Structure 1
Amino acid sequence: MTIDIHAHVTADLEARLIVDQRAGIDLTVLLSTRVHPERARTLAEVRTEFAALQQVVSGTAVDPAAFRGPAEELRAALDAHPGRVLGMAAAPLSLDEPTLIEFVDEQLRHPAMVGIGELTPAPDAGHTIEPMVRLADDHGGIPVLAHGFAPNTADDLRAYAVLARRHPRVPIIIGAFGGLNSLLAVDLAKAHPNLHLDVSSALQAFVLRAAAAEIPAQLLFGSNTPYGVPAAALATLCATIEDEPVLTAILQDNPARLLGR
């Protein structure tokens, strides 16, 4: 079973899941999103979507009501595709802590919810995800997926490592392979066994290959759809990792262990 640990709900989800399954991806972990760049057809539309994305990943505070629609969209996807998709609960970090915990707890009641993410703290504010790490610990140590690409900084990745040390029962996943800080992300994961990297958006094949040799049990296959194409991400990983047991671990064993599957 191949598991995509990092994908977002898209407008074409039903058709996409069929294509993904044909490519060999059997289970997809979906994250909610307020941005749908897959709908863009012109450069102007792409720019509009990316402007909205920059607001999301920069941790800009927005009306809490803006998260209700995406959360419902994810819940509908989980209900429509039982056994084919799992979900992670959205956590708008700009909410006050009691409201945030209530909002996330409500989502986690769905039986297909297996974690919390994708958390998008403001740059150099990685420490602000700690309430969600504590909540994950309270729920038995479910995974927490944090944005790892720009505008996240090297200090944000270090903050995630501090939280991993403080909460050893919680698997903390650095998304998008740590972006431009992938080497630092690998070093941090080597020092913290509950710190994991999803390999979506890995920029250099040689870094990915070296990471597979150093921390094979802490790498997770992800596509970051719609910013990546699942079949292409899968093909890249299979072409990069030559060690079959390591490849199986990244595609199947590691995510299955984290998800209790």
Structure 2
Amino acid sequence: MTIDIHAHVTDDLEQRLAADQQAGIDLTVLLSTRVHPERARTPAEVRAEFAALQNVIAGTPVDATAFTGPAEELRAALDAHPGRVVGMAAAPLSLDAQTLIAFVDEQLRHPAMVGIGELTPAPGAGQAILPIVRLADDHGGLPVLTHGFAPNTDADLRAYADIARRHPRVPVIIGAFGGLHAMLAIDLAREVDNLYLDLSSALQAFVLGAAIRELPTKCLFGSNTPYGVPTASLATIHSVIDDRSLLAAVLHDNAAGLLKR
């Protein structure tokens, strides 16, 4: 059994879930998205999607209505695939505090919501996740998934770790294996009990294997679909680890514990 802790809603979700199930991925944690690179067919379309993505991960402020459609898209996916997918509530950090909390709380009413994410603070503004971690604490310690790849900085990862230390009930997950700062992410996860690593988008296989062997209870399988392919991400894990107990922890047990599944 395998849980994909980090995947986004895509247009081809039906086919994707069918392929995932054949590969042994039984539960997928879906995140909403304002960007759909899977729709791109030409280099120009790819450039357009990545330009939109850069605005998202740079924390560029936009009107609150920009998030309504993606939130509805996620709810529709959860309703269409009960038991096969669960979700994380979006938390647009550029919104004012009152609007942000109300927006997240409304999403969390859906019974298939198991956490909050993917948080995308502007580079150098990692402390901006604090209100959401507090909200997750108020909801009994929901998992919070942060963006961890560029343009996140090493200071952002340290900010995530500091906030996690102050809210020990909340599992804080550094997304995309910390991107260019994977070694720092490993060090921080070693130091902070409730800091976890999403293994999606890992850049070096040998670092991935070392992290799993060093922190077998802190590593979580993820694909970051559509930026990764679930079956390929799964094959990468199997290529660096063959110990059955480690595989069980990374592919299922750790995430199942956080999600209470």
* Common topology (TM > 0.5): yes
Tell me which residue corresponds to 1:124: 124
The TM-score, its normalising length taken from structure 1, stands at 0.99
Counterparts of residues 31-110 of structure 1 (less than 5 Å): 31-110=31-110
Cα distance in structure 2, aligned partners of 1:60 and 1:242: 42
TM-superposed deviation, 1:242: 2.1
Cα distance in structure 1, aligned partners of 2:31 and 2:91: 11
Question: Residues 24-72 of structure 1, C-alpha deviation per residue, up to 9 Å, x if partnerless?
Answer: 1000000000000000000000000000000000000011100000000
Tell me which residue corresponds to 1:180: 180
Question: Residues 176-196 of structure 1, C-alpha deviation per residue, up to 9 Å, x if partnerless?
Answer: 000010000000000001000
Cα distance in structure 1, aligned partners of 2:139 and 2:231: 33
Which secondary structure state, in structure 2, belongs to the residue aligned with residue 26 of structure 1? strand
Specify the code of the residue in structure 2 equivalent to 1:222: G
Which secondary structure state, in structure 2, belongs to the residue aligned with residue 55 of structure 1? helix
Specify the code of the residue in structure 2 equivalent to 1:195: L
**Runs of 4+ residues deviating >3 angstroms:** none
Specify the code of the residue in structure 1 equivalent to 2:248: T
Tell me which residue corresponds to 2:150: 150
TM-superposed deviation, 1:209: 1.0
* Counterpart check, 1:169 vs 2:165: no
Cα distance in structure 1, aligned partners of 2:61 and 2:4: 29
Which secondary structure state, in structure 1, belongs to the residue aligned with residue 34 of structure 2? coil
Cα distance in structure 2, aligned partners of 1:242 and 1:212: 11
The TM-score, its normalising length taken from structure 2, stands at 0.99
Tell me which residue corresponds to 1:223: 223
Specify the code of the residue in structure 1 equivalent to 2:36: H
Which secondary structure state, in structure 2, belongs to the residue aligned with residue 27 of structure 1? strand
Identity %: 76
TM-superposed deviation, 1:15: 1.0
TM-superposed deviation, 1:214: 1.2
TM-superposed deviation, 1:98: 1.0
Cα distance in structure 1, aligned partners of 2:212 and 2:73: 35
Cα distance in structure 1, aligned partners of 2:164 and 2:155: 14
Which secondary structure state, in structure 1, belongs to the residue aligned with residue 186 of structure 2? helix
Specify the code of the residue in structure 2 equivalent to 1:55: N
Specify the code of the residue in structure 1 equivalent to 2:141: G
Specify the code of the residue in structure 1 equivalent to 2:182: S
Question: Residues 140-187 of structure 1, C-alpha deviation per residue, up to 9 Å, x if partnerless?
Answer: 001000000000000000000000100000000000000010000000
RMSD, aligned α-carbons: 0.5
* Counterpart check, 1:245 vs 2:237: no
* Counterpart check, 1:30 vs 2:30: yes
- Matched residue count: 261
Cα distance in structure 2, aligned partners of 1:242 and 1:202: 18
Cα distance in structure 1, aligned partners of 2:80 and 2:34: 20
Tell me which residue corresponds to 2:198: 198
Cα distance in structure 1, aligned partners of 2:45 and 2:74: 23
Tell me which residue corresponds to 1:135: 135
Specify the code of the residue in structure 1 equivalent to 2:83: G
**Gap regions ≥5 residues in structure 1:** none
Which secondary structure state, in structure 1, belongs to the residue aligned with residue 217 of structure 2? helix
Cα distance in structure 2, aligned partners of 1:168 and 1:20: 33
* Counterpart check, 1:5 vs 2:14: no
